[in-house]
């Protein structure tokens, strides 16, 4: 007796010559043909995020009578999406929207729309929805923002602020929704909807004569320190005021983008007027901003700005691309304006977190040269600290004379803090 064994073959790997693109997760690879197949091999595709086949796993090598490989066919059946569309009521449109007391509230000019309880789209009066058109004398044009905070729904109008509370829907046929609407301020409002932001339980808004905060049901101007800077450009150059919040060095800061005449350079610029608590300051950025907004994630606020073409996160990294300026007031010390003072020394202390562009340029000012222009003899002095950490400088010999004296510091430093700066003035002569 003789026995023969012709052997058997199986698939051990698959070579990809072209991975294609756009395949979905439902794509499959099927083997067919091959040399005297007893059982076809089974394969599993490996896809990347772009739908390109990057690999093939051999789940089962199959069984073939000869070494002729099978043909691999890749198919990706079409899966039809199924959805149900729900139409919003025709005729309901507006400029802002908010949720409050299980209803959706929409404003459009002097009209306030609200949905039936627990609905996001049913404005039908037969279900408890409805609308109210204001005939209040203090509503000059219309509502610009509707915003929910501190348990109230605030209606911010162009020249006034109102709030809604006590929303109730009485059972009946049809059910009826009632609420109380009270006026918080008949004279303070804003035509700039993007300037309205939440600050904790309060609201902040900007208008033609300042920046205000709603503390409870009372609007209080908080930008008195900006008087003389705020509003120096008529109608803000036609720009829409916008506000944002940002967490900067673990401090939550508010900011409003306003077009002003810079009190130091004299140029018309769009500048961020910023505050932390009761302290006001200003900032530029690497780009000329036209609009800002903010986003909160995990209790961290990030401000974003646009130049009209691109969107940038603000206050994210140090920069040497623009100048930082600190200017003191003009002092009449050590005696009053009846005496001319002579300034002879400058001291200071700064802490550097980056060594990039460390120079500090100090201009010693008086009532005639107040930080804008300087005439001979030179009134500008440069301090050049080196390295990181705290740097104490001075005494630096300087020269200035006037009834009032002060200083302006300018730097391109990427990341530093000015801890203090001091000039020493002595009485020179009596001006009487």
What's the CATH number where 374 sits? 2.60.40
Per-position b or e across 49-72, b if 16+ CB within 10 A of its CB? eeeebeebebeeebbbeeeeebeb
Would you say residue 90 lies in a domain? no
pLDDT value of position 87: 66
Beta bridge pairs of residue 58: 43
Return the H-helix or E-strand segment holding 410: strand 405-411
Would you say residue 85 lies in a domain? no
SS3 for 340-390 is: EEEEEEEEEEEEECCCCCCCEEEEEEECCCCCCCCCCCCCEEEECCCCCEE
pLDDT value of position 376: 38
Does one domain contain both 142 and 231?
Answer: no
CA angle at residue 415 from 414 to 418, to 5 degrees? 120
pLDDT value of position 4: 53
How many residues does this entry show for the chain?
Answer: 432
| Calpha distance 422→254 (Å, rounded) | 30
Would you say residue 154 lies in a domain? yes
Please give the model's pTM, rounded to 2 decimal places.
0.75
Query: Which residue range forms the structural domain that includes residue 411?
Result: 325-430
- Per DSSP, 160 falls in state -
Does one domain contain both 404 and 378?
Answer: yes
Q: Tens of pLDDT along the chain (432 residues)?
A: 555 555 688 899 999 989 898 898 889 999 999 988 999 999 999 999 888 999 999 999 899 888 899 999 999 988 787 888 766 566 789 999 999 999 999 999 999 999 999 999 899 999 999 999 999 999 999 999 999 998 999 999 999 999 999 999 998 888 999 999 999 999 999 999 999 999 999 999 999 999 999 987 789 999 999 999 999 999 999 999 999 999 999 999 999 999 999 988 899 999 999 999 999 999 989 899 999 999 999 999 999 999 999 999 999 999 999 999 999 999 998 889 999 999 999 999 999 999 999 999 999 998 887 544 444 344 789 999 999 999 999 899 998 889 999 999 999 999 999 999 999 999 989 988
pLDDT value of position 84: 82
From 28, 45, 79, the end of a domain falls on 79
Does one domain contain both 54 and 110?
Answer: no
Would you say residue 423 lies in a domain? yes
Does one domain contain both 116 and 181?
Answer: yes
Return the H-helix or E-strand segment holding 169: strand 161-170
- Evaluate whether 348 touches 395 at the Cβ level (below 8 Å): no
Tokens (6 digits) for 55:
């690999």
Would you say residue 237 lies in a domain? yes
Structural domains in the chain (count):
4
- Evaluate whether 47 touches 23 at the Cβ level (below 8 Å): yes
From 51, 79, 107, the end of a domain falls on 79
Does one domain contain both 287 and 372?
Answer: no
Does one domain contain both 359 and 400?
Answer: yes
Does one domain contain both 66 and 155?
Answer: no
Would you say residue 207 lies in a domain? no
Would you say residue 100 lies in a domain? yes
pLDDT value of position 378: 44
Phi, psi of 4 (to 5 degrees): -120, 150
How far is residue 369 CA from its own chain's centroid? Answer: 37
């Amino acid at each position: 007796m003789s026995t023969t064994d012709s052997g058997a073959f199986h698939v051990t790997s698959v070579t990809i010559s072209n991975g294609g693109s756009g395949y979905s997760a439902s794509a499959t690879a099927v083997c067919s043909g091959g040399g005297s197949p007893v059982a076809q091999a089974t394969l599993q595709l490996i896809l990347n995020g772009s739908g390109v086949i990057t690999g093939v796993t051999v789940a089962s090598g199959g069984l073939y009578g000869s070494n002729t490989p099978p043909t691999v066919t890749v198919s990706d059946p079409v899966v039809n999406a199924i959805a149900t569309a729900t139409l919003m009521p025709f005729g309901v449109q507006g400029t802002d929207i908010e949720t409050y007391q299980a209803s959706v509230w929409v404003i459009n000019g002097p009209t306030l729309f609200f949905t039936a309880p627990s609905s996001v789209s049913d404005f039908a009066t037969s279900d408890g929805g409805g609308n109210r058109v204001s005939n209040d004398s203090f509503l000059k044009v219309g509502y610009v923002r509707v915003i929910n905070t501190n348990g109230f729904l605030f209606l911010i109008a162009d020249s006034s602020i109102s709030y809604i509370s006590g929303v109730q829907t009485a059972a009946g046929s049809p059910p009826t929704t009632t609420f109380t609407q009270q006026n918080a301020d008949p004279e303070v409002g804003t035509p700039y909807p993007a300037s309205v932001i939440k600050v904790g339980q309060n609201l902040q808004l900007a208008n033609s004569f300042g920046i205000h905060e709603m503390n409870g049901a009372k609007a209080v101007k908080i930008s008195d320190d900006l008087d003389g800077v705020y509003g120096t450009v008529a109608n803000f150059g036609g720009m829409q005021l916008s506000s944002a919040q940002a967490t900067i060095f673990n401090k939550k800061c508010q900011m409003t983008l306003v077009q002003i005449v810079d009190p130091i350079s004299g140029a018309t610029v769009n500048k961020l007027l910023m505050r932390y608590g009761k302290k006001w300051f200003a900032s530029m950025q690497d780009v000329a901003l036209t609009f800002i907004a903010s986003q909160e994630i995990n209790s961290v606020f990030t401000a974003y700005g646009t130049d009209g073409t691109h969107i940038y996160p603000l206050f994210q990294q140090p920069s040497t691309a623009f100048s930082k300026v600190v200017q003191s007031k003009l002092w009449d010390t050590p005696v009053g304006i009846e005496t001319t003072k002579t300034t002879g020394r400058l001291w200071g202390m700064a802490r550097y977190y980056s060594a990039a562009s460390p120079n500090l340029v100090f201009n010693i000012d008086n009532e005639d040269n107040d930080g804008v222009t300087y005439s001979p003899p030179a009134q500008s002095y440069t301090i050049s600290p080196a390295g990181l950490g705290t740097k104490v400088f001075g005494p630096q010999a300087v020269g200035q004379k006037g009834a009032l004296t002060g200083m302006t510091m300018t730097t391109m430093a990427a990341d530093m803090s000015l801890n203090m700066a001091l000039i020493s003035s002595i009485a020179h002569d009596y001006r009487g």
